């Protein structure tokens, strides 16, 4: 079993560069299915969710080459529209293949997606919108067989600014004849990034103020794109720095993407210095509490940054209040965080974090990706050596996390139990033989 062993107490310092955004990479890789040519995608993070997406692309008939953080996908020969259940269940974003396969081939046979258990995460908005645009669905348990019967282009009004539904509608509509408009579309920076990628291949997707206009084109051509830096990773580093009274520089930030989180770090007493795309964060010895944080769609405070922030606030002076409005099950990690001696009470979608002076080490289990990041932040701040299990969740969204945190003066190791046992028995044999 793999786990992280973290000896807490070191203040983070040094410089770290962000990798590409997971939530951009996944839809952009999925969009490559629409292109009858070569897509060169730079700054693609090496994450388990990205690897799973590349496997799906290969299974559909795409050729995939990787050269460092550059991925080259050629979807000229895509001819399969089927994705097996186990691939679909590995991550939530697999549902985006629905839009791209329907757009490219007019047919998609797949299953309901999986993903982190942070809520019921239905896909009703995806399906309703695609039906309005002419897609037909046959459901059989978790199996979905979909075709495009009578393609339409119209205004789609989303009841909630869902990121995934917005992306699926875009992917579906890029190659349809006519103009589709999404009203109340998600405004997350990753939507603009998806549009930029599609436009680099000759598409016409215009994102503006909560509306997305997709002017259908006959075909997309080869294109090249660089994925935006990961704003959630940036906020995770900021929380870890805040929790350890650190002083770090985060390189390659996009300030506008992080604007929703900056005020809360200021409120906690952190000093932020922006110099072009470099952000320096200097944390005080002890953080101040934040009065109230409410997670909201962009440009609100991101739900994905909530858990690491909560972890930082566990040792702040006073009581902080966090309201989660996006996912109903996003405090599952809290009982694990409390094992470090944190004092967090959950009342429905509210977390009250009563700051304690010092966290103590514990052995804990990640419950989901960002909840896992909260446990990392907790362990970095805690006295003593902690173990974090279920790190497969963390690997979905953080590339070689132990390396980047080690570079920031953290004492963190990825341990493979089996290898450790082997090493120990070899050492024992050597002792006996000598
Ligand atoms: C994406 C992100 C995820 C982030 C979330 C919110 C990716 C790969 N994932 O997830 O990291 O936390 O945005 O910023 O980009 N909903 C419905 N019906 C639907 C679709 C959504 O009820 O058809 C609900 C969801 O259950 C959730 C809320 O809407 O409560 C937000 O979901 P959505 O914005 O779609 O998030 P995801 O695209 O799943």
Phi/psi at 351 (nearest 5 deg)?
Answer: -115, 130
Which residues does a 6 A CB cutoff place in the pocket of ligand 1? 23, 26, 92-93, 119-126, 160, 162-165, 186, 303-304, 326-327
What separation in Å is there between the alpha carbon of 120 and the centre of ligand 1? 10
111: helix, strand or coil: strand
Beta bridge partners, 248, equal 14, 281
123 Cα nearest atom in ligand 1: 23
Closest CA to 21 of 193, 151, 210: 193
120 Cα nearest atom in ligand 1: 26
What separation in Å is there between the alpha carbon of 123 and the centre of ligand 1? 9
Q: Note the pLDDT of residue 433.
A: 63
What separation in Å is there between the alpha carbon of 421 and the centre of ligand 1? 41
326 Cα nearest atom in ligand 1: 30
What strand order describes the sheet that includes 363-365? 363-365, 385-389, 2-7, 411-416
Q: What is the mean pLDDT of the chain?
A: 95
Active site residue 153: no
Q: Note the pLDDT of residue 153.
A: 87
Give the span between the Cα atoms of 220 and 202, in whole angstroms: 5
Cβ atoms of residues 333 and 369 within 8 Å = no
127 Cα nearest atom in ligand 1: 23
What separation in Å is there between the alpha carbon of 93 and the centre of ligand 1? 9
Catalytic residue among 81, 116, 146, 241: 116
Q: Hey, whose CA ends up nearest to atom 17 of ligand 1?
A: 122
Q: Hey, whose CA ends up nearest to atom 8 of ligand 1?
A: 23
For residue 173, give the H/E element and its range.
Answer: helix 163-173
pTM over the 0.85 mark: yes
Closest CA to 401 of 190, 188, 232: 232
pLDDT block averages, 10 residues each, the chain of length 434: 96 98 98 97 97 97 96 95 94 95 96 70 91 93 92 94 98 96 98 98 97 97 97 98 98 97 98 96 98 98 98 98 94 97 97 98 97 98 98 96 98 86 67 64
Question: How confident is the model over 276-301, as pLDDT tens digits?
Answer: 899 999 999 999 999 999 999 999 99
Q: Note the pLDDT of residue 305.
A: 98
What separation in Å is there between the alpha carbon of 102 and the centre of ligand 1? 21
């Amino acid at each position: 079993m793999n786990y992280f062993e973290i000896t807490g107490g070191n203040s983070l310092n040094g410089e770290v560069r962000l990798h590409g955004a997971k939530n951009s990479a996944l839809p952009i890789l999925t969009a490559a299915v629409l292109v009858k040519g070569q897509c060169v995608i730079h700054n693609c993070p090496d994450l388990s969710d990205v690897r799973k997406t590349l496997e799906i692309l290969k299974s559909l008939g795409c050729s995939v080459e990787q050269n460092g953080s550059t991925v080259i996908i050629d979807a000229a020969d895509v001819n399969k529209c089927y994705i097996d259940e186990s691939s679909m269940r590995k991550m939530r974003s697999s549902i985006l293949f629905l839009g791209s396969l329907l757009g490219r081939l007019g047919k998609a046979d797949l299953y309901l997606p999986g993903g982190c258990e942070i809520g019921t995460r239905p896909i009703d908005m995806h399906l309703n919108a695609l039906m309005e645009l002419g897609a037909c669905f046959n459901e059989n348990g978790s199996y979905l067989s979909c075709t495009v019967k009578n393609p339409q282009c119209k205004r789609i009004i989303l009841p909630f600014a869902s990121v995934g539904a917005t992306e699926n509608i875009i992917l579906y509509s890029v190659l349809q004849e006519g103009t589709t408009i999404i009203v109340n579309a998600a405004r997350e920076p990753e939507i603009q990034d998806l549009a930029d990628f599609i436009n680099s291949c000759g598409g016409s997707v215009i994102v503006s103020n909560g509306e997305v206009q997709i002017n259908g084109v006959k075909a997309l051509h080869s294109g090249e794109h660089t994925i935006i830096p990961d704003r959630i990773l940036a906020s995770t580093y900021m929380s870890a720095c805040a929790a350890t009274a650190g002083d770090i520089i985060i390189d390659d930030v996009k300030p506008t993407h992080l604007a929703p989180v900056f005020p809360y770090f200021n409120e906690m007493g952190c000093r932020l210095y922006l110099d072009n795309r470099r952000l320096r964060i200097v944390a005080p010895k002890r953080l101040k509490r934040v009065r109230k944080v409410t997670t909201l769609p962009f440009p609100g405070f991101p739900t994905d940054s909530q858990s690491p922030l909560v972890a930082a606030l566990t040792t702040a002076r006073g009581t902080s209040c966090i309201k989660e409005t996006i996912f109903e099950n996003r405090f599952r990690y809290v009982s694990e965080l409390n094992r470090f001696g944190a004092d967090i009470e959950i009342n429905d979608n509210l977390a009250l974090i009563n700051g304690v002076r010092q966290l103590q080490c514990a052995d804990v289990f990640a419950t989901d990706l960002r909840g896992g990041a909260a446990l990392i932040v907790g362990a970095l701040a805690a006295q003593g050596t902690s173990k974090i299990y279920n790190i497969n969740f963390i690997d979905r969204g953080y590339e070689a996390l132990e390396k980047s945190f080690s570079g920031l003066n953290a004492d963190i190791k990825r341990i493979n139990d089996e290898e450790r046992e082997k090493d120990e028995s070899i050492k024992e044999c050597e002792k006996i033989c000598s």
